[in-house]
Structure 1
Amino acid sequence: METITKQICRLQGQVTSLQSGLNPLPEALFQEEDGAIRLRIKAAGHALMASLRCNGESLVDAQIDAGGEALLEVGALPAGQQVLRLHCQVDGALAPVVTHIAYVLSGDLATFRHERQGDPLVDAIGELLEKWDLPGGVMASAQEKGEIQSTAIGWADAAAGVPLNENHRFRAASLGKVITTASIYQLVEQGSLSLDIPVAEALGMSDRHAAVFEGASIKHLLRMSCGVQVDSATGAPSPLEAGTLAEKPDLHSIVSRDWLEQVLDTAQRHFTPGEKFDYHTDNYWLLGRIIEQVSGISYADYVIRNIFQPLGLNDICLATTFADGRHPDEVIYHEGDCPPEAPQAAMGVEGMVPAPYQRVMPIRDAMGGWLVTAAEMVKLNQHLTDLAPSLVNEASLEGMLGREGAAPMPTEWYYGDGLFVQNPAGRGLTPQLVWWHFGLVPGCSGLLARIRGRHISLLVNGAPVKQNIFLATLWRVVLKAVGR
């Protein structure tokens, strides 16, 4: 492993595995001292061999007697975001297990300074990212049926000094809601589904759960006016291998009935369906389960076969959870001024982690779990309306974007099906039609839009604490740059 001497390291968080199977667990504490990382271990109950590893390679090993202690000096690390895994093996065990994990930032973060490129939109976005101290982003754009142009600015990994390029992948977050919407409309076009079907019927709910969702239809889920909130992370199985905490190879399983029932147990009704707009991202998790019920295959498999593959988008996949298990082309997500957070229960660990790595990404599938490039999002956008094969027919697209059925809003814009929409006519595919959606998870933000016939996608590997102010400012900057 290549190392850099005198590399300053910062401890960002550490967790203890709850599923290693080792009992009792050794006591382990990572410490940051004078820019270096140390690990104190105490063997509890039995002797063990401890090995601290980074990217699969051993950093330091120690044999510790039962009840004994050891202080491990980590030494130099490669620059960048690093994940240190403590592997422990007791006598008689067939293999070591991961008991503790630490997140370490090695090296100083490179600062992004935008150099003007002569493109009004790229320059406007670059100046905004610099102002908000974000590491960088990739923007792709195209006219209605035109060729997609991509521009990368800033850093994929600001600590390692790795620049962004147009092939880097990001978490799509809520930009992916239009993917779920298109899937629902395809099933409607096939005659397999109706938007007026009650949510309770579509998901085969018990009377107890159906009472909470009374009056709520699939259309209400699409329009964010369901009036019911659920927590889709409740009861979620871990997508990680128990002993190694590595990502499982198959993330495309249909959600079990037990998991769905536990999620429905969290349902709370807040208002009459259709009464008002309430952006609740888990609405789209429920839509993913409806797609599974109707199609008989997992949400991910349905989307890959019916949305991505017909367009030749064969590299889009579900995002993973740990930085060291990410896709080879995936960026590092920078927490910026976001504080550490407790990981979701499905991760099977306890402690604190950097905010961008707090969520278990595969369980977010239908509400924003995809890993994409900016160009791929533009291509998806083009195939909604301007390019064949169309993901949905014209009648479906008009239904998606029409004001009819939208929750009452005192604005000229409204929430359609998986997209924010501005259309003075309220219906039809008019020249004035604008649609967009923001994407936001800790450490990642983005925008997908169609403005005056121009398709735009922006993916940023950072997100500030004042996220709503940033996104509102981003939208104003984009509208001004494209001359609207």
Structure 2
Amino acid sequence: MPAPFRHSSLAVTLLMVLLPFSSVFGQTGTPPIPPFDDFMNGLLTKHKIPGGSLAVVKDGRLLMARGYGMADPANKLQAQPDSRYRIASLSKFITAVTVLHLVEQGKLTLDQKAFALLPDLTAPFGTQEDDRLSSITIANLLTHTGGWDDSSAGSGFDPMFASPTITAALGVSGPASSENTIRYMRGQKLDFDPGLYYRYSNFGYNVLGRIIERVTGMSYEQYVRTQVLAPMGIAGTRIGNSLASGRLPGEVAYSPNGITDNVFPEDADQQVPWPYGGWCVECQDAHGGWVTTVIDYARFMTAVEGRRGSSFLTPDSIAAMTARPGARDWDNASAWYGFGIMVRPVTGGQNWWHSGSTDGTTTYQIRSSNGFNWIVFLNWRPATNDGINAIQNEIDSGLWNASSKVTSWPDVDYFATSYPDVDPAQAAAQPFISARDGVLNSATLDRGVVSGSWGLIRGSNLAPGTRGWTPEDISRNRMPTSLDGVSVLVNGEPAYLFSVSPAEIAFQAPQDLPSGWLPVEVKINDVSTGMVLAHITRNAPGLFTYQENGVTYASASQDDGSELTDGGATPGQVISLFATGLEPTRAGIVASMAQQAQMPVVTIGGINAKVRTTALVGPGVFVITAVVPDMPSGDQAIVLTSNGVDSPFGVFLKVASSQSGN
């Protein structure tokens, strides 16, 4: 101890006050409740677990929150009570609560047919949709009774971890998006009639995530963060990033069980530790993508049913959430799977619990009938299924056993002192980019942004208002890199801005970016959204389009710039098409001479069109002139191919006249 504090009563007092909050033997946080400390220390020691965190709540009061061991052993960072962890399948309860919130608002019903809400996500060409798919309800998805069996007794196929299979089948780049996974599965047979059995299905909750997006008009993450978590006083919970370069502030390092092939194209590392590219965390948002702290998850659990005040859900919703489903598995069972949680009736009420598990992550939560909530997160997972089941059972029994040994519970509430709620208005106003496909090619609305091409950033509170650049924003023939205090950084380089709004930013990517998954960040008057990872590539051709009667058409004109006739283009006619992402270009220059570019392949109705010219005519915009081949009238699919990369399917060109001789 430094000399000025020797024999000082002040020093003794300070140590008595501060020691419980300091790091002692690898523990951090609030004062311990010894049986729970013993349990966590024993668990980490027995299994050689790097680190973990624990929250203990009674009657809505946070009695203890502590970190144990190392959050990041390589960098010698200790686990904290507010360390962030991937929570894996504990995400499902967040999705279930969100669905019930929408039911309460009249935007969904539990007996509503799920796939009728996703008419655009159709089965792949050449596959047959199972007729039973149309009978699957929202309740079936919530209770894992939709008809899919991921276990070895069923198909043994979990599509949420099968990106290579799905991308190969659909001919798309990886990782398989949430939507493409649904398209693929619509072409697969169900394993059983919906409602008949309980079979755990990550995929069913992926479908729920997309339904939430359809009925709210917001991304899943955006709706949950602003309309569910923010009213609970939760601001730091978000969808995680897959790659190590995307670790969030305060997020732990995950201990891997070996290496595997990287599902992310053009990433520098083709073999990666399982937790960092073995699957797509962002694509699993609704069933396993959330990253949070034990404290905020405890805050969420207590808010759902009002253990800390008003209940987020109504009593009717909670009754529906915990009711015994009709699946045969639960006919005479003492416990069952409700909506996102296991439920067991006991004297005086119900116990709820759920586990979460992906490589590098083990999570567990218990809500007891007598007022307790216990939350455990670990940055480690056993390597075998038997080991996973054993550690979950050990955590469950260990928490109950620790509770039984406590003779006197502390009269404190660290929710009110050390870890208070964030003001709901402030939480809802936090700026963020949606982690799942929040940075897209502005033409294709798909992944893949090329240096000098146009991209879109989607999220919430991205700008104070809506406006595009004006002549006053141009300096020395350069587009602005800031509008109303809003700026965008791609791999640390400023991007050029076309327009900003609270929900969307149109930007031109900086030139000379390397290919790969690079960080993108928005700053609003120096307040950061935090970063997400975006796919930057050398070729991502996309036609600018418009919608008419539910069909996506390529924007096209006559070669002199005048509009096409109402009927569309005619065979033999030269038309101009407008595109971005054909190849890397310079960025930020407002006006310059047209520059010739490499000609793409253009196919219309499956027939190669003769391409006459391709030129860069403005910032990130190419004009392609091509001759329409001889073909029947009607909507004809149009595709660009640049260096072997195709533009997305589903874009059409109106052709006005019939093929000659018809």
Q: Report TM bin, short chain.
A: 0.5 to 0.7
Structure 2 residue corresponding to 1:198, chosen from 113, 123, 128: 113
The one-letter amino acid paired with 1:310 is P
Q: Which residue of 1 aligns with 2:296?
A: 376
Distance 1:261 1:167 in 2: 35
1:177 to 88, 92, 97: 92
The residue number in structure 2 matching 1:447 is 364
Offset, 1:297? 1.1
Post-superposition offset of 1:231 = 1.9
- Asked if residue 483 in structure 1 is aligned to residue 390 in structure 2, the reply is no
Structure-2 residue corresponding to 1:353: 272
Question: Aligned partner of 1:376: which letter?
Answer: D
Give yes or no for contact 1:142–1:148 (8 Å, CA) kept in 2: yes
Percent of paired sites with the same residue:
27
Q: CA deviation at 1:467?
A: 1.1
Task: Flag the 1:406–1:379 CA change in 2: closer, same or farther, 3 A.
Answer: farther
The residue type paired with residue 231 of structure 1 is P
Q: Which amino acid aligns with 2:286?
A: A
Question: Would you say the 8 A contact 1:318–1:370 is kept in 2?
Answer: yes
Name 2:211's counterpart in structure 1: 290
Pick one of 343, 358, 362 that aligns with 1:421.
Answer: 343
Partner of 2:147: 227
Aligned match of 1:267 in 183, 188, 195? 188
Select 2:34's aligned residue among 100, 119, 128: 119
SS of match in other structure, 1:139: strand
**Secondary structure of 2:404's match?**
coil
Cα deviation, 1:199-227, whole Å, max 9, x if unaligned, reads 22232265953624143211111001111
User: 2:270 aligns to what SS in structure 1?
Assistant: strand
Hey, what does 2:287 align to over in structure 1? 367
Cα distance change, pair 368–256 in 1 and its aligned pair in 2 (3 A)? closer
Query: For residues 11-33 of structure 1, what are the alpha-carbon distances to aligned partners after superposition, in whole Å with 9 as ceiling and x for unaligned?
Result: xxxxxxxxxxxxxxxxxxxxxxx
Structure 1 distance, partners of 2:229, 2:108, is 21
| Preserved CA contact (<8 Å) 1:225 1:278 | yes
Cα distance change, pair 256–343 in 1 and its aligned pair in 2 (3 A): closer
Alignment of 1:55-454 (within 5 A): 119-147=34-62, 149-204=64-119, 208-209=128-129, 211-228=131-148, 231-232=159-160, 233=163, 234-235=166-167, 259=180, 262-265=183-186, 267-335=188-256, 338-344=257-263, 351-357=270-276, 358-385=278-305, 386-405=307-326, 408-409=329-330, 411-424=333-346, 431-451=348-368, 452-454=370-372
What is the distance in 1 between the residues matched to 2:313 and 2:222? 18
Corresponding residue for residue 464 of structure 1: 382
The aligned amino acid for 1:398 is: A
Q: Which runs of 5+ in 2 are unaligned?
A: 1-24, 150-157, 406-662
1:289-328 deviation line (CA, Å, top 9, x unaligned): 1111111111111101111111221111211122232112
**Conserved 8 A contact 2:304-2:312:** yes
CA offset digits 1:418-439 (Å, max 9, x no partner): 0011114xxxxx7341001101
Structure 1 Cα separation of the partners of residues 54 and 145 of structure 2: 31
SS of residue matched to 1:196 = coil
CA RMSD, 1 decimal:
2.8
CA gap 1:440/1:201 in 2 versus in 1, 3 angstroms: same
Cα drift, residue 266 of structure 1? 5.3
* Structure label with greater radius of gyration: 2
- Please say if residues 125 and 478 of structure 1, whose CA atoms lie closer than 8 Å, have aligned partners that are also in contact: no
TM-score (norm 1): 0.67
| Contact 1:200–1:209 under 8 Å retained in 2 | no
CA distance in 2, matches of 1:389, 1:161: 41
Contact 1:215–1:272, Cα closer than 8 Å, also in 2: no
Q: CA deviation at 1:114?
A: 8.5
Check whether the contact 2:129–2:189 (CA below 8 A) recurs between aligned residues: no
> Counterpart of 2:82 in 1: which secondary structure?
coil
> 2 CA distance for matches of 1:382 and 1:432?
15
How many residue pairs end up in the alignment?
A: 351
Q: Report the alpha carbon displacement of residue 167 of structure 1 after superposing the two structures with TM.
A: 1.9
Deviation at 1:146, TM superposition (A): 1.4
**Aligned-partner Cα distance in 1 for 2:349–2:323:** 13
Partner secondary structure for residue 423 of structure 1? strand
The residue type paired with residue 413 of structure 1 is A
Deviation per residue, 1:329-384 (Å, 9 max, x gap) = 1111112xx22222335676773211221222111110121110100000000011
After superposition, the C-alpha distances for 1:62-112 in whole angstroms (9 at most, x for unaligned) are: xxxxxxxxxxxxxxxxxxxxxxxxxxxxxxxxxxxxxxxxxxxxxxxxxx9
Question: Judging changes above 3 Å, is the alpha-carbon distance between structure 1 residues 328 and 171 closer, same or farther for their aligned structure 2 residues?
Answer: same
Go from structure 1 to structure 2 and tell me whether the alpha carbon gap of 1:348 and 1:139 turns closer, same or farther (over 3 Å shift).
same
Q: Pick 1 or 2: higher relative contact order, CA cutoff 8 A, min separation 6.
A: 1
Query: 2 CA distance for matches of 1:390 and 1:237?
Result: 43
Q: Which moved more, 1:280-289 or 1:199-208?
A: 199-208
8 Å CA contact 1:192–1:294 kept in 2: the answer is yes
* Inter-CA distance 192–347: structure 2 relative to 1 (3 Å threshold): farther
Kept in 1, the 8 Å contact 2:178–2:283? The answer is: no
CA distance in 2: counterparts of 1:154 and 1:350, whole angstroms: 29
One-letter code aligned to 1:179: I
Amino acid at match of 1:442: D
Scaled by the length of structure 2, what TM-score is found?
A: 0.49
Compared CA separation, residues 163 and 346, structure 1 to 2 (3 A): same
Instruction: State the alpha-carbon separation in 1 of the partners of residues 295 and 182 from structure 2.
Output: 37
From the superposition, tell whether residues 117 and 313 of structure 1 become closer, same or farther in structure 2 (CA, over 3 Å). closer
SS in 2 for 1:192: coil
Q: Which shows bigger deviation, 472-481 or 376-385?
A: 472-481
AA at the equivalent of 1:455: N
1:189 maps to amino acid? E
CA–CA distance in structure 1, aligned partners of residues 114 and 391 of structure 2: 34
State the alpha-carbon separation in 2 of the partners of residues 237 and 295 from structure 1: 28
Instruction: Identify if the C-alpha distance between structure 1 residues 215 and 310 changes in structure 2 by more than 3 Å, giving closer, same or farther.
Output: same
Residues 149 and 375 in structure 1, CA contact (< 8 A), matched pair in contact too: no
The equivalent of 2:654 in structure 1 is none
Structure 2 match to 1:107: none
SS in 1 for 2:229: helix
Please list, as runs of the form range in 1=range in 2, the aligned pairs for 1:4-83 lying within 5 A after superposition: none
